[in-house]
C-alpha cells in the first residue's frame, strides 16, 4: 500500500491563478447560457475517447484553437480531455491510472500529469471537458474543468449523484447502457438536491461534506443496447419527459457509442442529421431541444489496440480524423 500525494501539493505545483479562474468561470457561464438557450450558439464537444499522450493532446488543442476562432459566432468548441476510461469488465483504465501505457497503474504520476495538462490547455484558451469515474479525482482536478460528464456505466450511481451535488460546474448525465433515459433524469433530480458526500479535503483527509446541490446539469443521449436515440422523434419524446418533471427540456447528443452503432464512420451522418434538425426548427421558429453535440475525434481516423504507439490514432474507441471534423464544423457553421 502506498500513500497518495494530497491535493494541496498538486494545487500548489500547478496553481489556478486568478486570471485562469476567471477564464474558467467565463467558459462555465457560456456553457450554461447556451444550455438555457440565452446564448443561441451550439456547443460542440470534440476530442478523443481517451487521452493517451500529452504531446498529442496539445497538438489537437492547437488545431482546435484555430477552429474556435473560425466558428466562434455560431459554435462554442470544448475539448474532450477524458483521462479515465470506465470498463465493462477489465482493460486499460485511462491516462489517470496508467499514463505510461505500460499495463502497470501509476495514479500518482497520472494525476500529476493530468492536472498539468488541464492547466496548460486552459492557458492555451481551451475549455476542458472530462468524465469523472473516480469520485476522488475531482478534488485534484475539478477547478480546471469547464464541463464534466457522468458516463453510462455510472449514470445511476448514488455516490456519483452525491459527487455531482458537490460540484459547481455544468455536468451532463448520460443515459445508461440499455438506453434508459429515466436513470439520467432521476440523477439530474437527485444531484440537484443538497446531501452529505464522503469526500477528501485538500490535505487528503476524509471528510463528510454538506453539498449545496447542482442545478446546472442535463441529459446526454448516447444510444443504448436497444438502439440509437438521436432521431427527431426520440428527442421530442425525451424533451417531453423532462418537461413533465419540470426540468430543462434540452439535451446534448453523442454521435458515437450506440448512436453510431460503434462504427466511427457513422458519426458524420448523425452529426449532419442533428444539424439539420436544428436548422429545420429555426425555419419554423421553434426552439430545438438540442443545444450540444459530441464527437469522438482525433488527429487521425480509426483506432489501435493497447498499447498502441501509432502517433495520432486513438487507442480506445475509434475516432474520426481532424480533416473530417473540420468538414463537419464547416457544415454546421453554414447551416446554422
Q: What is the pTM of this model?
A: 0.96
Residue 224: inside a domain? yes
Compute the distance between CA of residue 29 and CA of residue 11 in angstroms, rounded to an integer.
23
Measuring CA to CA, which residue among 217, 133, 218, 211 is closest to residue 165?
A: 211
What tens digit of pLDDT does each residue of 258-278 get? 999 999 999 999 999 999 999
Which residue range is the domain that position 263 belongs to? 7-335
In the chain, how many domains are there? 1
Other Cβ atoms within 10 Å of 53 Cβ, number? 18
pLDDT for 256 equals 97
CB 161 within 8 Å of CB 188? no
Residue 1: inside a domain? no
94: which 3 cell numbers? 485511462
Cα Rg of the chain (Å, integer): 19
Q: State whether the Cα torsion 104-6-57-92 is positive or negative.
A: positive
Q: What is the CATH number of the domain that holds 164?
A: 3.20.20.70
Residue 75: inside a domain? yes
Residue 86: inside a domain? yes
Residue 2: inside a domain? no
**Which residues of the chain carry a pLDDT beneath 50?**
none
Other Cβ atoms within 10 Å of 137 Cβ, number? 22
Q: At what angle do helices 18-36 and 107-124 cross, to 10 degrees?
A: 80
Residue 255: inside a domain? yes
Measuring CA to CA, which residue among 267, 289, 266 is closest to residue 278?
A: 289
pLDDT for 307 equals 86
Q: Give residue 128's Cα distance to chain centre.
A: 8
pLDDT for 308 equals 78
157: which 3 cell numbers? 450511481
What tens digit of pLDDT does each residue of 242-258 get? 999 999 999 999 999 99
pLDDT for 1 equals 56
pLDDT for 109 equals 95
What whole-number percentage of the chain has pLDDT above 70? 99
Residue 215: inside a domain? yes
20: which 3 cell numbers? 485562469
Amino acid at each position: 500500500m502506498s500513500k497518495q500525494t494530497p491535493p494541496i501539493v498538486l494545487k500548489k505545483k500547478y496553481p489556478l491563478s486568478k486570471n485562469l479562474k476567471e477564464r474558467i468561470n467565463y467558459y462555465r457561464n457560456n456553457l450554461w447560457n447556451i444550455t438555457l438557450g440565452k446564448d443561441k450558439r451550439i456547443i460542440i464537444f470534440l476530442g478523443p475517447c481517451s487521452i493517451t499522450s500529452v504531446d498529442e493532446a496539445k497538438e489537437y488543442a492547437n488545431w482546435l484553437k484555430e477552429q474556435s476562432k473560425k466558428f466562434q459566432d455560431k459554435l462554442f468548441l470544448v475539448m474532450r480531455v477524458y483521462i479515465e476510461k470506465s470498463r465493462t469488465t477489465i482493460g486499460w483504465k485511462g491516462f489517470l491510472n496508467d499514463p505510461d501505457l505500460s499495463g502497470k497503474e501509476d495514479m500518482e504520476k497520472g494525476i500529476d500529469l493530468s492536472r498539468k495538462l488541464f492547466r496548460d490547455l486552459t492557458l492555451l484558451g481551451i475549455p476542458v471537458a472530462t468524465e469523472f469515474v473516480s469520485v476522488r479525482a475531482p478534488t485534484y482536478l475539478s477547478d480546471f474543468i469547464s464541463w464534466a460528464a457522468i458516463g453510462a456505466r455510472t449514470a445511476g450511481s448514488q455516490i456519483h449523484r452525491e459527487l455531482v451535488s458537490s460540484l459547481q460546474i455544468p455536468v451532463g448525465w448520460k443515459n445508461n447502457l440499455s438506453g434508459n433515459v429515466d436513470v439520467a433524469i432521476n440523477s439530474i433530480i437527485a444531484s440537484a438536491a443538497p446531501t452529505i458526500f464522503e469526500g477528501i479535503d485538500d490535505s487528503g483527509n476524509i471528510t463528510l461534506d454538506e453539498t449545496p446541490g447542482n442545478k446546472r446539469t442535463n441529459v446526454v443521449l448516447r444510444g443504448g443496447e436497444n438502439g440509437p436515440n438521436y432521431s427527431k422523434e426520440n428527442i421530442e419524446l425525451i424533451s417531453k419527459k423532462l418537461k413533465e418533471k419540470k426540468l430543462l427540456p434540452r439535451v446534448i447528443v453523442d454521435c458515437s457509442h450506440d448512436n453510431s452503432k460503434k462504427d466511427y464512420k457513422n458519426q458524420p451522418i448523425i452529426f449532419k442529421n442533428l444539424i439539420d434538425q436544428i436548422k429545420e426548427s429555426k425555419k419554423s421558429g421553434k426552439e430545438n431541444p438540442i443545444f450540444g453535440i459530441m464527437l469522438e475525434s482525433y488527429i487521425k481516423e480509426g483506432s489501435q489496440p493497447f498499447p498502441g504507439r501509432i502517433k495520432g490514432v486513438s487507442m480506445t474507441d475509434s475516432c474520426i480524423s481532424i480533416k473530417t471534423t473540420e468538414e463537419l464544423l464547416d457544415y454546421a457553421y453554414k447551416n446554422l
